[in-house]
Amino acid sequence: MSLRRPAVRLAAAVLLGVAGVVLLVGIGWAALAPIRFASREEVFEIPKGTWARRMSGDPVEILPSEIRLTLGIRDVLLLRNLDDVPQTFGPALMMPGQSFRLPFEVASSYQFACTAHASGQMTVIVEPQPDAPWARLRWRAKTLWRREEWR
Amino acid sequence: MRRSVALLLLVLAASAAGAADAPALKAGVFDPPRAAPDFSLRGSDGGELRLSRHRGKVVALAFGFTSCPDVCPVTLATLTEARKKLVAAGTDLQVVYLTVDPERDDAERMRSYLASFDPSFVGGTGAPEQLEAVRKEYGILAEKVKTAAGYAVAHSSSIFLIDREGRLRALMPYGHPADDFVHDVQILSAP
């Protein structure tokens, strides 16, 4: 048993060291690697049957009242109405099967009247492109956090 | 048979290339576009205002009211500047402005208000229920709010872009510069 203790300590130290290196590499990658996505579209869909669910009293929330986009990375809002009835989704009235693709080119906060929300408002916050390492790191961390929150 | 398959592939490839090359609009785009709902209102020019009367020109359709203190003057000034640039480049744009305040906005008041921006702009007014029906077709919100001076109307501020065939192609959110309208109208005007 006494022989084992130093071996356990060593193994623990090695593991900690490896974890530290992995963490540092991860942070370094998150700060330095360019942010790339296959698509610049942030997609929200109204599924089929949404209107029927709302009519039956189910308060369906599809579109968050605040959407955050980032210039050069995710700067296009794509809304799709897959339901059988017209739906007002953000700023647009869309027919069944119709989509609305809204690009943003200026970092700002945009307010839209929207009947899909109890507040009657939808806000789209468009943030500048994160070019500096610290900005990239912060952007990745925030994006990860928001995705977990929205799930 | 082989020849027709090759021809079909060629047509598909050409249309795919065309779609990929299609210049993107600055405005939000509806896909597929639907026919812009037509309406019959009292025009600021004294006649009947029908959207279909402007088929063959790109139309910028805006909703507002002549007493609007901030949004409408900016929107109309932007459209004035855009139209000036477009006309200089040989492209026409018809601006149609429908009131959300028929109590105060009669045809004459709209005519003189719009003429202060551009005499070619056409306004539309009518009975409240007529205008409400038009707003519903376009998904426009308008709500009276009390102010110290009486009332104002909070309303959707985006501008619809309707192509020469009368299809509702795009929605330009408030705040875009005149050059974005010039860009999009030129694309929509292309044959």
Closest chain B residue to A99, measured at CA:
B31
Q: Flag whether pLDDT at B130 surpasses 60.
A: yes
Please report, for the domain that includes residue B45, its CATH number. Answer: 3.40.30.10
- Count of the separate structural domains present in chain B: 1
CB nearest A93 (choices: B24, B29, B138): B138
Task: Note the pLDDT tens digit of each residue in B2-48.
Answer: 555 454 444 444 444 444 456 799 999 999 999 999 999 999 999 99
A117 against B47, higher pLDDT: B47
* Structural domain that includes position B92: 26-189
B160 against A30, higher pLDDT: B160
For residue B7, tell me if it sits in a domain: no
Q: Do B28 and A105 touch (CB under 8 A)?
A: no
Q: Do A99 and B31 touch (CB under 8 A)?
A: yes
For residue B3, tell me if it sits in a domain: no
Q: Do A92 and B28 touch (CB under 8 A)?
A: yes
CB nearest A98 (choices: B32, B158, B173): B32
Question: Nearest-CA distance from B174 to chain A in Å?
Answer: 9
Task: Note the pLDDT tens digit of each residue in B136-172.
Answer: 999 998 999 999 889 999 998 999 999 999 999 999 9
Closest chain B residue to A96, measured at CA:
B32
pTM of the model: 0.81
Question: Nearest-CA distance from B4 to chain A in Å?
Answer: 32
What pLDDT, on a 0 to 100 scale, did the predictor assign at position A25?
Answer: 86
For residue B42, tell me if it sits in a domain: yes
Q: What is the DSSP-derived secondary structure letter of residue A74?
A: B
